[in-house]
Amino acid sequence: MATVPRPHVAKSGDPVRIGVLGGSGLYGMPGLKNTVWRKVATPWGDPSDELLFGRLGDVELVFLPRHGRGHVHSPSEVNYRANIDALKRVGCHDVISVSACGSFKEALAPGSFVIVDQFIDRTFMRQKSFFGTGLVAHVSAAHPVCGRLGDALEVAAKEAGIPVQRGGTYLCMEGPQFSTQAESFLYKSWGCDVIGMTNAPEAKLAREAELCYASVAMVTDYDCWHPDHDHVDVAAVIRVLLDNAEKGQDLVAKVAPHLRNRPQHCPQGCDTVLDTALITAPEKRDPALLKKLDAVAGRILRA
């Protein structure tokens, strides 16, 4: 088994390090310097892939392809805990998720982006918490994404000329099959904006890990509620995917400078949610679980 590295501790003057969770085409971009792929072990198992470290101006970026290079992991099989732990373990405190999705709104046509601010989680096969028997914790997920990151992404999208909607509800389904038409009409009736298979578990785990997290959903097609959905061929969807990947690269490149001056504390309190979340009495806490939480909850457990 690979040795799990100690959590990175930032020193005064260190550049901001931003984590990016994405798919194919979203872990490289023009202008990214000093790139190196590095394997990072975690107490929760292996992340989806190695992490790509690079530098863009005076900001460091760390890319993690959530499905692995070549898209080898199904949404249900992604090790979300390892992915979030790895990003925090290497010193990322801001995490931007970029992923493909379907649309429930006529106005959100293929090629549109949504800066998500809410989730409905319909997954049931995922490990979605770092806590459990031996250390129970309950964090608030009322506002599951970081408004500071959302503000920066909105500005960057406008700079890049990307059609973007600020705010929207992401329905996270289990998959890997797409929705039945009955499900699609149900989710549309709930007022959801987009549908995908990955972001809700990420958001919950990022919150537990006291990370600032933001989700950018890139619309590739309308879900099967749409009368013309079945008339979109695979080639058309692939064209949108490739175009969205280029837009996603541009968005990340443009948002990085807006995040280089990270505040000492998140205005929304993303970095202190564990202050009021741990419920298990100190003398009843499992030492083995505490050891696994060195990166995720080290701040509060060392206090």
User: Is there a catalytic annotation at residue 221?
Assistant: yes
Quick one: which of 109, 123, 117, 105 has its CA closest to 170? 117
* SS3 label, residue 66: coil
Would you state the structure tokens that stand for residue 243, as one six-digit string? 């175009």
Instruction: List Cβ neighbours of 194 (8 Å cut-off, separation of 6 or more).
Output: 101, 102, 103, 104, 108, 114, 116, 168, 169, 170, 171, 217, 219
Looking at residue 59, the DSSP 8-state letter turns out to be: E
Could you give the CA distance from residue 98 to residue 90 in angstroms, rounded to a whole number? 20
b/e sequence 136-164, b meaning 16+ C-beta within 10 Å: ebebebeebbbebbbebbbebbeebebeb
Please tell me which residue in 94, 221, 250, 271 is annotated as part of the active site.
221
CA quadruple 50, 71, 95, 200: dihedral sign? negative
Asked whether the beta carbons of 259 and 59 are under 8 A apart, the reply is yes
Asked whether the beta carbons of 134 and 288 are under 8 A apart, the reply is yes
* SS3 label, residue 148: helix
Asked whether the beta carbons of 205 and 87 are under 8 A apart, the reply is no
**Integer Rg of the chain from CA:** 19
Other CB atoms within a 10 A radius of the CB of residue 228 amount to 8
Could you give the CA distance from residue 136 to residue 94 in angstroms, rounded to a whole number? 25
Please tell me which residue in 223, 230, 233, 271 is annotated as part of the active site.
223
Residue 54 has phi, psi (to 5 degrees) of -160, 175
Q: Which residues are catalytic?
A: 221, 223
